[in-house]
Amino acid sequence: MARPTEGRKLIANNKKAYFDYFIEDKYEAGIELHGTEVKSLRMGKCSIKEAYVRIENGQVYVCNMNITPYEKGNIFNKDPLRPKRLLLHKSEINKLAAQTAQQGYTVVPLQVYLNGSLIKMEIGLARGKKLYDKRQDIAKKDQRREAEKEFKVRNLY
């Protein structure tokens, strides 16, 4: 389960996941990285917009997570899009595998962050939204924006 946000430094956020999916459950996972990838992540050079999570052979992998190569890393740099293993407890992996076997569920990466000196990823068990759900979200966002605009105008005078 995800811990409180104290001591976290956000590296990458996946806002699109919250728009496209209902997030049912969240998990905190470590990421298996190589040396220059860690340095690049500490500098904030990461993107999880197109990333997805795959479970195979009792292991969890994040694919298409782009970690920009470290500029001073030369020959030690790894492929920026290589699949990276996520470190979860076996019981959590089994639970995720069972739930993703159900129709309509998937696992999506939500955030990459520094927790103290460790690099963690928050993943979520998600159920896809239909088009009308997305339209409702857009309408709510527009209403909130209008209300904030009115409030701001009203408080200026």
Query: Six-digit token pair at 64?
Result: 């298409």
Distances (CA, A) of 113 to 92, 104, 118: 20, 28, 8
5 pLDDT higher than 70: no
Q: Which of 88, 82, 157, 156 is nearest to 125 (CA)?
A: 88
How confident is the model at residue 157, as a pLDDT? 64
Whether the model clears a pTM of 0.85, i.e. scores above it, the answer is no
pLDDT of residue 4: 57
Domains of the chain (ranges, CATH numbers)? 8-129 (2.40.280.10)
| Mean pLDDT estimate for the chain | 85
Determine the Cα–Cα distance for residues 60 and 90; give it in Å rounded to an integer.
10
- Which of 70-74, 113-117, 125-129 is predicted with the least confidence, judged by mean pLDDT? 70-74
Residue 105 has pLDDT above 60, yes or no: yes
Strand partners, 55: 60
In one-letter notation, the amino acid at residue 82 is: R
Q: What is the pLDDT of residues 24-75, one digit of tens each?
A: 889 999 999 888 888 888 888 888 888 889 998 889 999 998 888 887 777 7
* Residue 1 scores a pLDDT above 60: no
Alpha carbon distance 134, 32 (integer Å): 34
